[in-house]
Amino acid sequence: MATGSRVTRQRSSVWLSERKTPRRKGDQQPVGLDRVKIVAATMRLLDAEGLSGFSMRRLAAELGVTAMSVYWYVETKDHLLELALDAAMGEIALPIEAVRPAEGCADPLAEPRDWREQLRQLASEYRQVLVRHPWLSALLGEYLNIGPNSMTFSNAAQAVMRNSGLPDDKITSALALVYQFVYGFGTNEARFAARCRAAGLSQDELFHDVMNLVEDRPEFDEPRQIMEARGGDTVEEMRDREFTFALDLAIAGIEALRTP
Amino acid sequence: MATGSRVTRQRSSVWLSERKTPRRKGDQQPVGLDRVKIVAATMRLLDAEGLSGFSMRRLAAELGVTAMSVYWYVETKDHLLELALDAAMGEIALPIEAVRPAEGCADPLAEPRDWREQLRQLASEYRQVLVRHPWLSALLGEYLNIGPNSMTFSNAAQAVMRNSGLPDDKITSALALVYQFVYGFGTNEARFAARCRAAGLSQDELFHDVMNLVEDRPEFDEPRQIMEARGGDTVEEMRDREFTFALDLAIAGIEALRTP
DNA sequence: ACCTGAACACCGTTCAAGT
DNA sequence: ACCTGAACACCGTTCAAGT
């Protein structure tokens, strides 16, 4: 109460506001900055320092420019982060048929594949981008997700799921099951990797450290056989198996509940 | 580069550090603050203002105390947030058998139930707490999740899944599939509700607004029949059905892939 | 059209000091 | 043992001014 009222931040998405700079008309004098460069530098910085290490001032320094210059090209920090988010989503490779369903298939290698295979590919790509850019999860959780690349991705996901044989009214459920799972899985994986980097440990080392810590705590009363059963030689191997089988479960569920 | 080196924040969890204040010995002079009160105020503030509206200074003001007083009871802001996280997880009601598996069942109403029913209960409870405390998702995604209540919850989840008939080496996959799904689902639901509050709109109003916006965008090329097929009279109804059926899919998958 | 500099209203946290 | 006040090194963003 003491500090009184507080502005509720409700700046709408970049994607719903007019571009700030008009497209360049003729050839003006050369300029150092532009949106593309700024977003690229943003992603570099985010990759290197994490979301909490990123600031407009730091970005400006990286670009060799004063703190306020960036604001010429971008309305707010939030808008800039939305641009980075969508750029990251653009790194996801999509199955060709999902993108252009009606295109003639001149390339025999590009022949339509099974929906399961396409689903697994999309899931794997999504997982990979989440791990490659550990800051992406938080942004996906914070902003509306309606940039062009995000839309293309979700359209592709829908297109794939429509081939599963599930009735129309179940498709969003199946999409939610699969992609929320991948999101959560990739988020955890990325966070763990970031912790490893920060602590200077390998994934296996940190994993065993955490295991030992947790096993000593009184609240941990679950049988270790489950922890051990998932085995595998390395943490990464264990995780891959876990991921693959979870997808298998989802796919099996879809196959079981579709009307044939 | 310009700003030089930067400390990588790697303060270990509250749960891995000694308590800051020793337990009170005799009866000292009455004190205004304590950890319980601080955490309660933290949660109130987080509920009211969101994570971005929360600050140590604001919390202190709320407690009618100077900014630095809180630091007597809590090492850092991060530690405080971890405490709030675990307190929120403590609000999840667990199936009785999952908590004390070996206890005699004197109460006939407490007789062991089907694992599917228990799974649905846990999923629903988890979803609800995520919606009740919209700040929880971000914290779950940021900190190690090893407070006592978090551990109890994950133990319960494991206990339930062990009754599914899935072989030991598949259990963590199934847990990941279900709970990551619920996490993502609840996160989105909470975020949407927060947006509604901020915009002063009902969920149905905002939903239709967003739908109209998105449909106008060139990238949105997916058939509206899927959007419409999931139907229901209200957004909430639609969401509940989506949630329920996604869980059905996961359960069907588990049933299909267990060895009977 | 593009960039700067100073300033405002915030942060989390340290540290020396009070009682 | 508990709380305060001043200070440090940061934030995002506004605004008037330069070229």
Q: Does the nearest atom of strand D lie within 7 Å of B66's Cβ?
A: yes
Average pLDDT over residues A48-73: 96
Identify the residue among B154, B219, B243, B244 best suited for mutation to test binding to A, counting A beta carbons within 10 A and taking the highest.
Answer: B219
Shortest distance between the Cα of A26 and any Cα of chain B, in A, equals: 28
| Weakest mean pLDDT among A7-11, A122-126, A217-221, B117-121 | A7-11
Say whether residue A8 is in contact with chain B using an 8 A CB cutoff: yes
Do residues A65 and A122 both lie within one domain? no
Looking at the structure, tell me whether residues A42 and A166 fall in a common domain: no
Q: What is the average pLDDT value for chain B, to the nearest integer?
A: 86
Chosen for mutation from A173, A222, A251 (greatest number of chain B CBs closer than 10 Å) is A173
State pLDDT tens for residues A167-223.
Answer: 999 999 999 999 999 999 999 999 999 989 888 899 999 998 888 877 777 666 666
Q: Do B127 and B221 fall within a single domain? A: yes
User: What pLDDT score was predicted for residue B97?
Assistant: 67
CA distance B107 to chain A (A): 24
Residues A17, A122, single domain; the answer is: no
More confident residue, A38 or B99: A38
What digits encode the pLDDT tens for the residues B74-93?
999 999 999 999 999 999 99
Residues B182 and B207 grouped into a single domain? yes
pLDDT tens-digit map of B5-26: 333 334 588 998 876 655 444 4
Flag if A3 and B61 touch (Cβ within 8 Å): yes
- The pLDDT tens digits of the residues spanning A123-133 come to 999 999 999 99
- Which of these three, B39, B56, B89, is where a domain ends? B89
Task: Write out pLDDT tens, residues B180-222.
Answer: 999 999 999 999 999 898 888 999 999 988 888 777 776 666 6
Q: What percent of chain B has pLDDT over 70?
A: 82
B164 touches chain A (CB under 8 A): no
A162 touches chain B (CB under 8 A): yes
Q: B7, B40, B16, B45: which is closest to B143 by C-alpha? A: B16
**Which residues in A lie closer than 8 A to residue B254 (C-beta atoms)?**
249, 253
A225 inside 8 A of chain B by CB: yes
Q: What is residue B215's predicted lDDT score, i.e. its pLDDT?
A: 78
pLDDT value of position A130: 98
R_g of chain A computed on alpha carbons = 22
Q: How far, in Å, is the CA of A139 from the C1' of nucleotide D12? A: 18
pLDDT computed for residue B177 by the predictor: 98
Task: Check which CATH number belongs to the domain holding B179 and give it.
Answer: 1.10.357.10
User: Looking at residue A232, what is its pLDDT?
Assistant: 77
Q: Alpha helix (H) ranges present in chain B?
A: 35-49, 56-62, 77-89, 96-99, 115-132, 136-140, 148-162, 168-199, 203-215, 224-229, 235-257
Confidence of residue B109 (pLDDT cuts 50, 70, 90): low
The predicted model gives A72-83 an average pLDDT of 97
Domain that holds residue B197: 96-257
User: How many angstroms away from the CA of A140 is the closest CA of chain B?
Assistant: 10
Nucleotides of C under 7 A from a protein CB: 1-7, 10-16
pLDDT digits (tens, 9 = 90+) for A150-178: 999 999 999 999 999 999 999 999 999 99
The beta-carbon neighbor of A250 closest among B142, B151, B253 is: B253
Q: What is the mean pLDDT of residues B99-114?
A: 56
pLDDT at B150 over 80: yes
Closest A-chain CA to B7 = A53
> Given CB atoms, is A226 within the 8 Å cutoff of chain B?
yes
pLDDT at position B99, please?
A: 61
Give the closest nucleotide to A28 (alpha carbon vs C1'). C1
Q: Which residues of A touch B151 (CB under 8 A)?
A: 214, 217, 219-220
Residue-level pLDDT at B107: 52
pLDDT at B94: 95
The nearest CA of chain A is from the CA of B108 a distance in Å of 26
**Letter for the amino acid at B121?**
Q
B123-150: average pLDDT:
96
Question: How much is the pLDDT for B26?
Answer: 41
Domain end among B43, B61, B89: B89
Structure confidence at residue B1 (pLDDT) = 30
pLDDT digits (tens, 9 = 90+) for A89-98: 999 999 876 6
Which of A172, A188, A214 comes nearest B242 by C-beta? A172
Q: Domain check: are B55 and B109 in the same one? A: no
Question: How many independent structural domains does chain B possess?
Answer: 2
Report the share of chain A in percent with pLDDT over 90: 66
Q: Among B59, B89, B119, which residue terminates a domain?
A: B89
| B118 and B205, same domain (yes or no) | yes
A54 touches chain B (CB under 8 A): no
In sequence order, the 6+-apart residues with CB closer than 8 A to the CB of B139 are: B51, B81, B82, B84, B85
Q: Mean of the pLDDT values across residues A112-118? A: 89
Are B36 and B161 in a shared domain?
A: no
Q: How far apart are CA A51 and CA A186, in angstroms?
A: 16
pLDDT digits (tens, 9 = 90+) for B245-256: 999 999 999 999
Give the global pTM.
0.89
